[in-house]
A and B are shown apart, each in its own frame.
Chain A
């Protein structure tokens, strides 16, 4: 099965990438005859969340490393690239809130080396929008003039390339991915994940074009109940105290997500680091072996805390996106537009709301949800931001 089968509903982008990969392969073989540097050395993949930017980047990396040059999906080059174990494919997945300048500097050094496997050295940065200003600057020089056989693949969740700093953008070839159609998503859920037809169609219709979310909703019962409880909020805000109960539920479930992640990983990571730094030994000289380890442990704790914050924010953001989708549906229903609903299974609720609220009030509510997303990005305490939003949702 070709690596491109993983890239869902993006025929245009796949066409561009396959032709580029074919040229790259001919350069490796020495059969290439044409103008200088036909393969762009830096790519910028943009697209709405869940459209499969990093999957596309990985598939392209696999095609570059593929022995046939087209991403066959069976040769060692393809298999190791897709599994993330290829020696010449470096993937940066930020778990915390941002990518630090130190991380980028070491990456620039790696990118300067020749590929070990005689094909291409590929660097993938999955969330390029999380680069700090310093980190982006550290990357500029390498992205502008990389060594002959190095390719940078940057991914940013955005509908518009303008959202990425101009200094980076101007040095990259831009490739925009679009929201995959529900039928394409349903198809991939059926064929790749073996999900029953009915469930696949339902998940694809409510996921808002997010492939990963569709799979999660189709396979995970708790994700479905979570979505249910979020979508119940708009019509359940009858009295002022409801605001605080709902806010409590939202924040608590996000917190429990974060606790789940830290509970399963934090202690194990800390123990592994301590062992590596020489803790827990007995006998002579063990005390001096652990010297200087406190700083490393503190650094790890800082990273874990940043990860927990991000998990919590991501969970809340997911809920907010669902909510915003619902208010959009209400507007669509009120305007009697034939546009597809974000939550077709909630069409009855949307009708009730559309008859109860004026369009201005619905719009104000939608604005409040979006303002809350922005506020969370600006570091406002989640509880305060959500309560303020829910008061507006309650009042209109």
Chain B
């Protein structure tokens, strides 16, 4: 048996909700265990299915000292009893047992205390927070490509996110595949060669183009949104929201965005954006636009025979209203 220089940690806390990253942390931990002992066995168990005696049985060292990896899933659901059992165990962990606790960081008090207990017991902590911000997602894709042994640039990364979407698993596998296909140099051209179309189009993207008078862009976005199955109601609501935001900001007159944001109860970035969008709108046009979005709101809820058409028409009518003065 070859022993690695560093033995895997006996206690590990995987903290966060991003499934792909959690899964990777578990796999890394199992791989480390296999390196230490090829006969290591893996047991995955949900905390809610577990009782204190069962846990005691799982974590007691085996007779022949084989390495064991016990993965406690959904530790944030832990009840008082099971949390107490885990806390008792982590005070004196067994040598050949690797306990990996998967925890979102939330849950009730006993479950939350478990995190503190594991921290103070010196557990190895892997943070896997959910990736929500676009910048984080871009960094993730860049990392993925680097991990697979490739090189890339900002254009290629944003092209890939546009066409694949925000699901990390899909992004990771697409990144790995691209590196394999292109031989390492992932450029925007290469991305477009293999991926076409768009994955994430929200109603807001449609609305943004529609209120700035970009008719071809808005219609294109709308087609993509329909193709991807974005509910009509969401697009209609986004249109209404965009128009009323512009109307509110335009009605307030030229003013400091910070003052406006507190006056209108809107975040500053939204005010700034709406101020830019409100250029080119006239009060009469806005009045028409408000009616248009109210009508399309009824249309997508069953009044129009064809909701697709109703939305397209609303986009065209908004553009027409914007030209009015």
Contact = CB atoms under 8 A, between A and B. Distances in A.
Interface stretch (A124-132, A237-245, A282-290, A312-320): A237-245
Interface stretch (B142-150, B216-224, B288-296, B305-313): B288-296
Given A378-B301, A378-B302, 16 more contacts: A240-B247, A243-B251, A244-B247, A375-B298, A378-B303, A379-B302, A384-B240, A384-B297, A388-B290, A388-B291, A388-B293, A389-B294, A391-B287, A391-B290, A392-B291, A394-B287
B251 A384 contact: no
Chain A interface size range: 10 to 19
A387 B297 contact: no
Interface string A374-389: 0100111100110111
B147 to A, nearest CB: 45
B240 A391 contact: no
Given A380-B298, A385-B297, A241 B252 contact: yes
A380 B251 contact: no
Interface of B: 237, 240, 244, 247-248, 250-252, 283-284, 286-287, 290-291, 293-295, 297-298, 301-303
A243 B290 CA distance: 11
B239 to A, nearest CB: 10
Main secondary structure of the interface of A (DSSP, over half): helix
A381 B291 CA distance: 13
A244 B298 contact: no
A395 interface: yes
Contacts of A380: 294, 297-298, 301
A378 B301 CA distance: 7
17 contacts: A239-B251, A240-B286, A241-B248, A241-B252, A244-B247, A375-B297, A375-B298, A378-B298, A378-B302, A380-B297, A381-B240, A384-B244, A384-B297, A385-B294, A388-B291, A391-B286, A395-B284
A98 to B, nearest CB: 15
A152 B237 CA distance: 43
B299 to A, nearest CB: 9
B297 A381 contact: yes
Residue from B237, B244, B293 with most neighbouring chain A CB atoms (10 Å)? B244
Contact of A395 (B248, B287, B301, B303): B287
A395 B321 CA distance: 15
A244 B252 CA distance: 11
Interface string A36-75: 0000000000000000000000000000000000000000
Given A392-B287, A395-B287, A387 B298 contact: no
A184 to B, nearest CB: 39
Contacts of A379: 298, 301-302
B237 A391 contact: no
A243 B291 CA distance: 13
B321 to A, nearest CB: 12
B294 A240 contact: no
B131 to A, nearest CB: 32
Nearest to A375: B298
Given A240-B251, A381-B240, A391 B301 contact: no
Contacts of A244: 244, 247-248, 251
Given A378-B298, A381-B240, A384-B297, A240 B250 contact: yes
B205 to A, nearest CB: 20
Nearest to A242: B251
A389 B290 CA distance: 9
Contacts of B240: 381, 384
